[in-house]
Amino acid sequence: MAKSTVKFKDTIAQFEQLKAQISKREFAPIYLLMGEESYFIDALTEALATTILSPAEQAFNQIIVYGKDSDAGQVVNLCRQMPMMGSYEVIILKEAQQLRNIEKLSNYTQKPQSSTILIICHKEKNLDKRSSLYKQCVAAGVVFESVRPRDYEIGPWLNSFIQGKGLKISPKALQMLTDHLGCDVAKISNELDKLIVSLPAGTTNINDTHIEQNVGISKDYNNFELCNAVASQDVKRAMLIADHFAHNPKDNPLLLTVMALYGEFRDMFTINYLRWQTKYKNIPFPSDAELMRILKKSNIYVIGELKTLSAKWNNRKLFNILGLLREYDGKSKGLDSAGMSDGELLRELLLKIFML
């Protein structure tokens, strides 16, 4: 099967477009919601389930079935029923990836009824795009592909998501969240909802203290602080944080720390290279807004910090450090680690960085 060409930004754009259409009651007869990221599939399903029919109509004309408990023939028969009251019958097929003989849904999707809205929730993977079912869903309805973000995409999305709730978040608090929660959008959304409920009344800016108190991440011992200490060449502070990580390995996996350090040094290398181009090739140094685009950052404060920190390093050292980080990325996955613990590997890595 061909690799999907849909990007996370495409998922976000279509998600917002579909939400707007649903709120305006512009419905399609078929919705195929598929992909690895469950958050957007669940959010669109909820929006459709609560908008198409009134609560009174839902009792008669909204049916939820689960793939593992059904077969395609049953779903087709449900779709061919006429609504008992109101304009639509809504059939929500959850966990469609578990439906027996799912391809037989094409017996309905090739000629859907105008009075039925079928919502197919196909999680964990995509429906085969070569199949008749997929092609018919494209032709007759809406196909939404929900892809997971890459590590560099989650920060900008989360920042925008928080702004959509009328709040702001500091760069440090943002990185604490993304380091702790990874790229699982559903998990991030759940944690953020709990965090917002816990904020003191009138709070509009989320900071590192809020994260420490409500999410359980130390505001003093985290990857953001470690990256800052290493980039600032503060050996004592960096080793102190490394010791804390060594005593709390489950909360501070080496792989995530190496990834955070790699991102920091890669950005500094890029800025110094742009400076070199300005000095020796007369290419204008980018504006802060352009640097935000180049480095995929969503906060101008971060750009200022990176410009200051990168001036403390020459690019030959930065290049060698990037090589070290690639080596320790492998060791964090068990390659040539000589049985050393994450804490021992991190201390060794930091000492090598400071000795370059």
Structure tokens given for 294: 């180049």
175 pLDDT tier (thresholds 50, 70, 90): confident
Say what percent of the chain tops pLDDT 90.
Answer: 72
Q: Answer yes or no: do 165 and 97 share one domain.
A: no
Buried b (16+ CB within 10 A) or exposed e, 28-40: bbbbbbbbebbbb
Residue 347 makes CB contacts below 8 A (sequence gap 6+) with 239, 242, 243, 246
Q: Which of 215, 231, 261 is the last residue of a domain?
A: 215
Summarize the confidence of residues 42-71 as an average pLDDT: 95
Domain count of the fold of the chain: 3
Q: Let me know how long the chain is.
A: 356
Using the Cα atoms of residue 227, residue 228, residue 234 and residue 236 in order, give the sign of their dihedral: negative
In a domain, 1, yes or no: no
What is the per-residue pLDDT for 183? Answer: 82
In a domain, 23, yes or no: yes
What is the per-residue pLDDT for 267? Answer: 96
In a domain, 268, yes or no: yes
pLDDT at 204 over 60: yes
pLDDT at 238 over 50: yes
Q: Which of 3-17, 162-176, 280-294 has the highest mean pLDDT?
A: 280-294
Output the domain CATH number for residue 202.
1.10.8.60
In a domain, 328, yes or no: yes
Q: Which of 115, 146, 177 is the last residue of a domain?
A: 146
Q: How many CA atoms lie within 13 A of 347 on its CB side?
A: 13
Q: Answer yes or no: do 29 and 98 share one domain.
A: yes
Cα separation, 315 vs 276, whole angstroms: 9
Between 15-29, 30-44, 212-226, 256-270, the lowest mean confidence (pLDDT) is in 212-226
Assign 289 to helix, strand or coil. Answer: helix
pLDDT at 1 over 50: no
Q: Which of 111, 130, 146 is the last residue of a domain?
A: 146
Using the Cα atoms of residue 296, residue 298, residue 300 and residue 305 in order, give the sign of their dihedral: negative
CB 133 within 8 Å of CB 277: no
Structure tokens given for 311: 């001036």
Q: What pTM was computed for the model?
A: 0.75
Q: What is the pLDDT of residues 317-343, one digit of tens each?
A: 999 999 999 999 999 998 988 889 999
Output the domain CATH number for residue 227.
1.20.272.10
Structure tokens given for 322: 């990037």
Q: Answer yes or no: do 76 and 96 share one domain.
A: yes
pLDDT at 118 over 60: yes
Q: Answer yes or no: do 156 and 112 share one domain.
A: no
Cα separation, 107 vs 96, whole angstroms: 16
The residue segments making up the domain with residue 289 are 223-355
In a domain, 138, yes or no: yes
CB 89 within 8 Å of CB 81: yes
In a domain, 2, yes or no: no
Cα separation, 210 vs 198, whole angstroms: 9
* Tokens 């492998």 found at: 330
Q: Answer yes or no: do 250 and 336 share one domain.
A: yes
Structure tokens given for 144: 């939404």
Summarize the confidence of residues 311-318 as an average pLDDT: 94
Given 3-state DSSP classes, what are the helix, strand and coil percentages for the chain, each rounded to the nearest 5? 60, 10, 30
pLDDT at 130 over 50: yes
Instruction: Tell me which of 142 and 211 has the higher pLDDT.
Output: 142
In a domain, 55, yes or no: yes
CA 124 to chain centre: 15
Q: Answer yes or no: do 203 and 239 share one domain.
A: no
CB 169 within 8 Å of CB 162: yes
